[in-house]
Amino acid sequence: MKIRRLQLDEMPPYDLLLLADPSRELVETYISEGECYVAEENDNILGVFVIVPLTKETMEIKNIAVCEDKHGQGIGKKLLQEAIGVAKSNGYDNVEIGTGNSSIGQLALYQKCGFSISGVIKDFFIHHYDEVIMENGIQCKDMIRLRLEIQ
Ligand code: ACO
């Protein structure tokens, strides 16, 4: 499996991107502001991440997703490590990522990769999404912000 930057003339893998973020509008906005990378094996795209500059010092991973039939095989961790590498090689000091209060597996993965909780945006998913989002039997309301210092 290799991870590479998506070329400008390639169609982003929306099926995967929408697994991580149900808003096509938000996805299109941050894809246009950042860099999209894909994990690929035998011409099949298995995973994706999008990273964008947030401030002069910080990049944010806006989207990370792996094909549902490939979950739990370490691909998400490899994508996260690659995203951290992209931020490092561009001279940024921090990487941030935000996820829902109900995203138990994602919160586990990000903390296993060294991220620490840096804040909570109360009711973010209530204000920014039309539909009620349920996960693990929990309503997704708040955005948990996590940060990793890399320099
Ligand atoms: N408790 C403890 N650890 C857990 C749990 C849990 N409930 N769930 C997952 N984990 C751990 C696993 O044990 C594993 O850690 P390990 O390597 O130490 O065993 C790690 O989390 C999962 O690692 P990977 O196998 O590398 O992850 P995967 O390839 O399955 O990708 C991802 C993770 C990207 C979150 C995938 O599940 C996915 O695509 N989900 C749907 C889209 C999504 O929710 N994306 C994130 C939204 S937030 C954002 O995009 C900014």
User: In the chain, where does DSSP find H-type helix?
Assistant: 14-20, 24-33, 75-89, 104-112, 124-128
* Model confidence band, residue 129 (pLDDT cutoffs 50, 70, 90): confident
First to last CA, the chain: 28
Instruction: Express as a percent the part of the chain with pLDDT over 90.
Output: 93
Contact 96, 80 (CB under 8 A): no
Nearest Cα residue to atom 34 of ligand 1: 65
Q: What mean pLDDT, rounded, does the chain reach? A: 96
* Model confidence band, residue 22 (pLDDT cutoffs 50, 70, 90): confident
Cα 49 to Cα 21, 46, 72, 126, 138: the distances in Å are 12, 11, 16, 24, 25
pLDDT in tens, 79-125: 999 999 999 999 999 999 999 999 999 999 999 999 999 999 999 99
Residue 151 has pLDDT above 80, yes or no: no
Question: Which ligand 1 atom is at minimum distance from the Cα of 62?
Answer: 51
Question: Which ligand 1 atom is at minimum distance from the Cα of 66?
Answer: 39
**CATH superfamily label, 2-149:** Gcn5-related N-acetyltransferase (GNAT) (3.40.630.30)
CB distance 105 to ligand 1 below 6 Å = yes
The pTM score is 0.95
